[in-house]
């Protein structure tokens, strides 16, 4: 069985990392992903897809990306459900990111940190 997702879209907010009690880091971002066909009005619809990033993927994405940046996400789908106070069941589907590729980035921040990057190591 196979559960792979590949998305390319724009971040709708700045990624913010939260550290959990067990020391793990997590951030949830929403990607705006255009469909590859026009609707009946001649407009490309956009899907907004929640992606959960963990640990180093979360930290690096928060360090180098901001709202509007284009990123590629490779991961898997994960579903969950919960019951609200009215006993109604709600289902959630998230993409659990295994890899994030920065297609546009904050070039100024990378330039500022370039002295810290030693590519020969």
Short-list 1, 4, 22, 13, CA closest to 74: 4
- Structure-block tokens of residue 33: 């992903």
- The answer to whether 17 and 100 have CB atoms below 8 angstroms apart is no
Please indicate, yes or no, if residue 34 is contained in any of the structural domains.
yes
Evaluate whether residue 15 is within a structural domain. yes
Asked whether residue 66 is assigned to any structural domain, the reply reads yes
> pLDDT tens across 31-87, in order?
999 999 999 999 999 999 999 999 999 999 999 999 999 999 999 999 999 999 999
Percent of the chain having pLDDT more than 90?
A: 84
Tokens for 53? 């990033």
Q: Is residue 14, in this structure, part of any structural domain at all?
A: yes
Total domains in the chain come to 1
Does residue 63 sit within a domain? yes
> What tokens does 117 get?
């990057």
| CATH number (domain holding residue 30) | 2.40.50.140
- Residue 121 inside a domain? The answer is no
Residue 89, domain member (yes or no): yes
Range of the domain at 94: 5-116
Structure confidence at residue 31 (pLDDT): 97
50 falls within a domain:
yes
């Amino acid at each position: 069985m196979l559960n792979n997702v590949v998305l390319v879209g724009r971040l709708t907010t700045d990624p913010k990392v939260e550290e959990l009690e067990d020391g793990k880091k997590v951030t949830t971002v929403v990607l705006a992903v255009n469909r590859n066909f026009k609707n009946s009005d001649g407009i490309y619809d956009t899907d907004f897809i929640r992606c959960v990033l963990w640990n180093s993927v979360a930290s690096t994405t928060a360090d180098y990306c901001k709202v509007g940046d284009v990123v590629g996400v490779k991961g898997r789908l994960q579903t969950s459900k919960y019951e609200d106070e009215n006993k109604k069941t709600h289902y959630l589907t998230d993409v659990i990111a295994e890899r994030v590729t920065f297609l546009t980035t904050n070039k100024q921040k990378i330039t500022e940190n370039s002295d810290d990057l030693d590519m020969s190591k």
